[in-house]
């Protein structure tokens, strides 16, 4: 039998046909590295009827100069990225097929990373993590069964550094616009006695940010110990980070966007002399530490098993100066001062999050010439405390220093078990089945959530077929069901419903020595989808609401074309229609049926392109372009909610200098972002409210919007010395 092996990677797709009956590798076109057994249970292969892209450290390296993983993924199909500070350092976000980061399931070595309550992925807590990433896989749509919250737009699985047989050292530094500076040290002992390896990394990234005062001070570490023999692989990992970022989540209105694009209102107040000031410590300060124990056992030639234990500790706060705030918010009693009643005060508060996340994931895998069977699952528990403290107040009356003005807690448990199988029923046909049961329990209390005590039970079946047309192409079709629970913020607006998705995927993959093409169409049908309303809560988090029936239909194409010996062209295109069906909205005091409206933050066109020139093995020059079509920031198709289409073009160069002295090589890298100095906004917010005071007896709906401007032309330059 000849099977098709594929790597669906935007920066150099690789596919290889094999004459052997037994599949050697379906991830990177070479013998599978031992470490990949830790993620094989939840990853897709060419025989999986799933739409996916692999992204390797070799593809990441030329642009890995301190920006977050979402920014490095910007040119993948159907991906839109954004940065609060405007330059890719600090708080960053990603959307896939119009679904925001809360709906992208992220795992690290198969262990859930999304925050259990918000479902968000806070890359700022793991700065420079790309430098410890071996490879990642982005599955668009529901994908295969995984651990953690269900994937409603995509799932992203990250594999950390593989075991190195040889000792090495690496020093990396980069500098850039906005006083951006990254320094990183990395090492490995290599395999000692062919069994033991210790490796690690220390990094620091600092940046002033494009937006005023949107500074970042980011520290991170990664330490890994490995033991292996003929049958066993054991890895212990400690990694984490400490971030201090000046808040920049307020955005700016349209008028300010025209007059002062970099203005940041965070921390603003008026002093006693009537002068505008900014609090010098309006920061987010958070530490997150992870521990993972991973074990793989080859039981027989056909059977192997994985088990992992994990623990994450997170603790931190964001600080705010509040001007003339009400006593009632903080339990402060009004009092009289010189016959005047005092019931407001200037104060500085800190809102804390203190949490623990721990559990286990496991899988058993059986393989023979026709069958690839995986049985797996996981149990995880989250315990979180939310509380607020006043660290200074102009008038405190009955309050003591660090008294908690609110003190809430929450507990979430998540158990899932799945079984998936890929079976070759014919030389050209493979059938795929995947069944998952997931149960979630969530309890919480707080003014924002109310009293929550919910349990959800979800059954998520998936099935599909792959057909090998010939040694150069194959076709696949799949149907998958996903169910997902509300997040913490969803409870702010009432009693949210869980959401359901039916995902249909039809794709074609083609490979020759010079041409690789991947194309697919999808239909995603939602019931009670929790879509972004466009509004933010009081801490800058986006709010969502159930919208009944909705759908996404799209076409995705990505390719890699060799143009002679030195040039490569890698374009991708995503066209989609994303609609709420029969959407109702109360405008001017009347409930109106707006018909089918566009789902918020869902552009109909996304185009990526990379053109690479490599005259030698040491030199690579790339021109990268991204185009994102018009988006609505709300769901009512209001022109005031429009986020205009935009494009950006980057230049990336990498040059390796071989050495025969104190170092093995020196790699010089450069990245010029947005070379045409385009003014654009990649994210924003939209809100409405009813004004019933301007004209007595009438209600007028007022609309407003905010924007997050991104940097114009800017650069990063870096050098890495390898020992």
Give which of 543, 552, 545 is closest to 529, Cα–Cα.
Answer: 545
Give which of 333, 336, 262, 106 is closest to 714, Cα–Cα.
Answer: 262
pLDDT of residue 696: 66
pLDDT of residue 33: 63
Give buried/exposed letters for 217-230 (b at 16+ CB in 10 A, else e): bbbbbbebebebee
pLDDT of residue 21: 28
Low-confidence ranges of the chain (pLDDT < 70): 1-33, 692-697
Contacts for 600 with CB less than 8 Å, ≥ 6 apart: 531, 532, 533, 534, 631, 632, 633, 634, 635, 641, 686
- Cβ atoms of residues 171 and 120 within 8 Å: no
pLDDT digits (tens, 9 = 90+) for 328-385: 999 899 998 888 899 999 999 999 999 999 999 999 999 999 999 999 999 999 999 9
pLDDT of residue 694: 59
Give which of 554, 626, 581 is closest to 140, Cα–Cα.
Answer: 554
Give which of 296, 160, 297, 164 is closest to 222, Cα–Cα.
Answer: 160
143 is in which domain, residue-wise? 3-722
Instruction: Give the β-pairing of 154-160 and 104-108.
Output: parallel
Give which of 70, 39, 52 is closest to 162, Cα–Cα.
Answer: 39
* Alpha helix positions (H), 63-121: 69-72
CATH number of the domain to which 656 belongs: 2.40.170.20
What domain count does the chain have?
1
Give which of 625, 581, 629 is closest to 604, Cα–Cα.
Answer: 629
Helix (H) or strand (E) holding 386: strand 371-393
pLDDT of residue 459: 95
Whole-model pTM: value is 0.91
Residue 19 three-state SS: coil
Residue 87 three-state SS: coil
pLDDT of residue 693: 60
Give which of 566, 501, 555 is closest to 530, Cα–Cα.
Answer: 501
| Distance, CA of 484 to chain centre | 17
pLDDT of residue 25: 34
pLDDT of residue 544: 92
pLDDT of residue 23: 31
d(CA 224, CA 134): 13
pLDDT of residue 529: 95
Q: Hey, what are 362's tokens? A: 């496991």
Sequence-ordered strand ranges (E) for 272-369: 276-278, 283-298, 303-326, 335-337, 340-342, 344-367
Q: Which residues pair with 631 in a beta bridge?
A: 643
Contacts for 508 with CB less than 8 Å, ≥ 6 apart: 473, 474, 475, 476, 517, 518, 519, 520
Give which of 281, 266, 454, 285 is closest to 353, Cα–Cα.
Answer: 285
d(CA 42, CA 276): 53
């Amino acid at each position: 039998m000849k099977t098709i092996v594929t790597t669906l990677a935007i920066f150099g797709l690789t596919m290889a046909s094999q004459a052997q009956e037994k599949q050697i590798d379906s991830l990177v076109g070479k013998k599978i590295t031992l470490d990949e057994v830790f993620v094989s249970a939840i990853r897709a292969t060419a025989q999986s009827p799933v739409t996916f892209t692999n992204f390797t450290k070799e593809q990441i390296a030329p642009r890995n100069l301190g920006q977050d993983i979402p920014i490095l993924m910007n040119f993948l199909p159907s991906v839109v990225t954004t940065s609060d500070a405007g330059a890719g350092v600090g708080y960053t976000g990603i959307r896939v097929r119009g679904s925001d980061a809360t709906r992208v399931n992220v795992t690290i070595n198969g262990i859930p990373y999304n925050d259990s309550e918000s479902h968000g992925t806070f890359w700022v807590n793991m700065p420079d993590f790309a430098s410890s990433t071996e490879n990642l896989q982005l599955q668009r749509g529901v994908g295969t069964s995984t651990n953690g919250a269900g994937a409603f737009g995509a799932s992203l699985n990250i594999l950390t550094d593989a075991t190195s047989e040889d000792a090495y050292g690496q020093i990396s530094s980069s500098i850039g616009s906005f006083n951006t500076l990254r320094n990183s040290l990395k090492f490995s002992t290599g395999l000692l006695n062919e069994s033991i390896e210790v490796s690690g990394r220390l990094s620091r990234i600092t940046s002033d940010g494009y937006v005023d005062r949107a500074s970042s001070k980011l520290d991170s570490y990664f330490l890994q110990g490995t033991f292996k023999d003929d049958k066993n692989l054991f890895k212990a990992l400690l990694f984490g980070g400490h971030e201090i970022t000046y808040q920049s989540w307020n955005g700016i209105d349209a008028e300010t966007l025209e007059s002062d694009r970099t203005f940041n209102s965070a921390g603003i107040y008026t002093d006693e002399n009537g002068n505008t000031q900014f609090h010098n410590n309006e920061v987010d300060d958070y530490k997150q530490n992870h521990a993972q124990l991973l074990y793989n056992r080859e039981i027989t030639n056909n059977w192997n098993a994985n088990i992992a234990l994990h623990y994450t500790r997170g603790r931190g706060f964001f600080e705010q100066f509040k001007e003339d705030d009400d006593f009632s918010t903080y339990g402060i009693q009004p009092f009289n001062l010189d016959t005047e009643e005092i019931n407001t005060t200037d104060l500085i508060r800190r809102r804390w999050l203190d949490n623990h996340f721990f559990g286990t994931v496991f899988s058993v895998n059986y393989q023979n010439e026709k069958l690839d069977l995986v049985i797996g699952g996981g149990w995880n528990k989250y315990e979180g405390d939310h509380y607020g403290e006043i660290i200074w107040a102009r008038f405190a009356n009955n309050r003591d220093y660090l008294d908690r003005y609110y003190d809430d807690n929450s507990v979430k448990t998540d158990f899932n078990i799945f079984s998936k199988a890929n079976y070759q029923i014919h030389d050209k046909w493979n059938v795929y089945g995947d069944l998952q049961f997931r149960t979630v329990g969530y309890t919480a209390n707080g003014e924002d959530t109310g009293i929550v005590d919910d349990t959800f039970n979800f059954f998520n079946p998936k099935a599909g077929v792959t057909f090998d047309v010939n040694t150069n192409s194959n076709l696949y079709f799949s149907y998958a069901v996903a169910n997902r629970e509300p997040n913490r913020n969803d409870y702010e607006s009432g009693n949210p419903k869980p959401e359901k998705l039916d995902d249909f995927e039809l794709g074609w993959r083609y490979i020759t020595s010079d041409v690789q093409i991947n194309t697919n169409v999808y239909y995603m049908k939602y019931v009670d989808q929790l879509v972004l309303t466009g509004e933010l809560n009081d801490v800058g988090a986006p709010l969502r609401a159930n919208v009944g029936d909705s759908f996404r239909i799209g076409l995705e194409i990505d390719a890699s074309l060799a143009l002679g010996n030195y040039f490569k062209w890698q374009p991708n295109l995503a066209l989609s229609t994303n609609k709420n069906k029969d959407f109702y909205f109360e405008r001017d005091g009347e409930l109106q049926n707006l018909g089918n409206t566009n789902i918020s933050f869902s552009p109909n066109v996304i185009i990526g392109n990379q053109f690479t020139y490599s005259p030698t093995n040491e030199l690579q020059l790339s021109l990268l372009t991204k185009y994102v079509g018009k988006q609505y920031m709300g769901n009512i198709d209001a022109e005031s909610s429009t986020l205009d289409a935009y494009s950006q073009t980057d230049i990336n160069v990498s040059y390796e200098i071989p050495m025969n002295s104190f170092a093995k090589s020196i790699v010089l890298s450069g990245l010029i972002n947005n070379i045409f100095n385009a003014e654009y906004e990649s994210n924003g917010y939209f809100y409405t409210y009813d004004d019933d005071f301007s004209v007595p007896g009438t209600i007028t709906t007022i609309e407003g919007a905010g924007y997050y401007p991104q940097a114009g032309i800017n650069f990063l330059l870096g050098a890495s010395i390898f020992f």
